[in-house]
Structures are given as C-alpha cells and as structure tokens.
A and B are shown apart, each in its own frame.
Chain A
Amino acid sequence: MSEEAIKPDLQKIDILAKQVLGKKVLQNTETLWQEEYSAGVPTGNKRSFRIYVINDGSTPGAQPSPGSPVVCLKLCKRIIEQDYPRNTLICTSKSKIAHRYELVLLVEFENGNFDVITLPRNLSNRLQYDAAITKAFVDSTVIDAAGVPILQHQNQNTPYESLIIISEGVNDYTSFEYTVAIPFTDFSPRLKPCYIEDPSLQSYILLKCFRYDVDINDTFLVSTGETTSVWTTIVELTVTEDIIDKLGIDQDVIIQGKVDNYCCDY
C-alpha cells in the first residue's frame, strides 16, 4: 500500500476477499434438450426434449385402451444434485460446467386425474417398460433399446454442450447431466495463464432466470414389444436459464478502516 496519510481514527486492515478474475455469462441456455436427428443421423443441434407420457388408464397390451390423454403439465420442482453445479478445468484451456438435476412434473389428464412424474426416474425406452417405474417413454436416441442412455451433443456453436441421463442401471435413471465447456478465451476479462495455474483458483456458478416451456401434442401409439403397445401423449419440454461462471482467487486487500471491536461486558 502506498504511503498515503492514514486518517487518525482509521487503521490499515488486511481484508481477505475474492477477486473475480474473469466471468462468462451464458444467457438463455437450454439445459434440458435432446440432439436433433435427420434421417437417422445426429446433427449436433439441440431440439426440445420429447417424452411420450402414458395416458391415464392405458397399459401395454395387444389392444390397449386409449386411456385419457394429457391436457396440462406443470413443472413443480427442479432438484439440483448435491455438489452440483461444479466446475472443472480441462487441459488449462477450458472451464467445464457440469450441472445435475431432476425435474418433478405435475400432470393433469383429460379425465380430471393427476399424476406426479419425476424425470428422469420415471422414463424408459419403449422396449424396457416397467409397470412400477415407467410413466413416460423417450426416443431411442436418448435411451437406447438396451436401456442405456445416449450422450446428446451440441457441437455446432461454441461453447459446445452435452446432455446425458445419469444411470445406475436399466430403468434406474437418477438425474440429467448437462455440461458446457467454455474456453478461457471467452471469459471477460481474459484470464492470464498465471491465474489459471494458480492452485487456489475457485469458481462460482450462478443459475438465474430459470424458466420452462411445455408443448402438449397429439396422442401416439407406442409399440412396447412385438405384440404389445400403449397409448401416450407426446409432450415437448424445454428448460432454459442463464448460467454465470465466475473464476476468482482469494486476495489480500489492504484498506483503511476501523474494526468494530466488540467486547463482552464482564
């Protein structure tokens, strides 16, 4: 600190503060989506996440009852997994944000019945129907016929993104994991190499302006096996939020100030 005159009632105080070295704001980022396919080929573009909600009263069979289709769907809760979102430095060139969450939806059917669907827990591939778990199906490009989740890519625009359903087994899907890799050159101000090498470098991730969009489409007969099928309603979901990634280090800041010395009165 330069030799400035210190005011008589003040003193030099060392404050430990977080200095933000760089920040990146990803506005209007879709964090729930699936990869678009064209003629069976992945395009690397995002599209809305499509689920086939089983109609109320319809069960897989040779001639399934049409049941009652979905008329309304509300996102009640977004549960973020503990220790997420988290940030990882990749090869000292990118900051990779990983974000894991579940969604709880309230579904209203035409007959006035309601149900609660948790995503991705209540999702299955159409060939892996489980009466105790499955409430909706996804495309085979999201979970394949063997019940294995497939990595979804967005690699047409930087920063590149991916999405996958985290699985602990077939029909045991615990969360969505969305990732985005931000090159350090995208941070503002630009991050110096010495900052990136600093072992005390920390990150702060802020998720703001969370919103969602639901599109309820037509009913659809989903084949669940060679001789069985079930009636569903196609629902397109999108979740959007702003992601703010800050990188910083602890920094000593010397200020002039007065410490509030509180003493016990005994």
Chain B
Amino acid sequence: MEEFSPKAIYSSGWKRLCREENDYGMNRMYELSETNYEEAIKKNSKANIMSNAWNKPIQEIVLEKASIYEKGQKDIIEKIIQLQNEVDSMKELLKNIHLENEIIKDKTNKNKIGSKLSGLFK
C-alpha cells in the first residue's frame, strides 16, 4: 500500500502530442448557442463539454461541430422557406386588393358615364 503522503515527484513519461487547431477547451464553451448550452446543462455541465474536448479525438470534435452547423443551417433554410411562403401570400393578397380596386374604379366610371348619359336624355 502506498504511503499516505502526496508524491513530491510525478512524471507523465514520453507521450505523443495531441494537436488542436483552435483552443477548443476554452472556445468551445463560448461557441455553444443558448439552446445547445441548455442541452449541455441537462447532460451535466459545461465542464463536461470541456472535458469532452480534451478526451475526444479531433475527428469527433469536427463531426460534432459539423452536426451543430448542419442543424443551424437546416433551421435557417426552414425559416427562409417560411418567409418565402409569407411573401407569396402577401403578394397574392396585394394582387387581390389591386383587382378589387380596378373593379371598384370600373364601377365608379360606369356610374359617372351613366349619370351623364341619363342627364343628356332628360
């Protein structure tokens, strides 16, 4: 059994280095959106995310980031489609209003002509 005193010396031995393009440990916490952050809290803490950043190989981190971007992209596309539909229905509405205006104008003109003609025949 080891002595109950903390070791004064400890070495890791020679180990192959991991490489990261960005400071994932720090940046990852700030890059998460609120939604993802809440999910992360549910999955137990942003610290876990940091620890995952240390433990996971770079490919996994890249895939995770890619899936976050894909989801974001999907949300954006859905919103664009929604907006486009709203614009189309607004256009339809404007067209109808324009047609109705034309009909009303026609009616008004006919009434004017009719009243003038009836005036002539009195």
Spell out A's residues near B (CB within 8 Å). Answer: 18, 75-78, 80, 84-92, 96, 98, 146-149, 151, 162, 164-170, 172, 177, 179, 181, 200-212, 247-248
Contacts and interface: CB of A to CB of B under 8 A. Distances in A.
Contacts of B4: 76-77
Given A77-B4, A177-B51, A151 B29 contact: yes
B91 to A, nearest CB: 48
Interface residues of B, number: 33
A172 B17 contact: no
Contacts of A90: 20, 22-23
Interface of B: 2, 4-23, 25-26, 29, 41, 44-48, 50-51, 54
A20 B11 CA distance: 15
**Which secondary structure dominates where chain B touches chain A?**
mixed
Given A151-B29, A204-B11, A86 B18 contact: yes
Nearest to B18: A88
Nearest to B4: A76
A146 B42 CA distance: 11
Given A90-B23, A148-B41, A203 B6 contact: no
Contacts of A85: 12
Contact of B47 (A77, A80, A167, A211): A167
Contact of B11 (A77, A172, A207): A207
B44 A204 contact: no
Contacts of A86: 12, 15, 18, 54
Given A90-B23, A162-B26, A210-B6, A205 B44 contact: no
Contact of B6 (A78, A168, A200, A202): A78
A233 B20 CA distance: 43
A172 B43 CA distance: 12
Contacts of A166: 47-48, 50-51
Contact of A205 (B12, B16, B20, B29): B12
A204 B13 CA distance: 5
A148 B23 contact: no
Contacts of B20: 88-91
Nearest to A91: B21
A89 B19 contact: yes
B98 to A, nearest CB: 56
Contacts of A87: 12, 15, 17-18
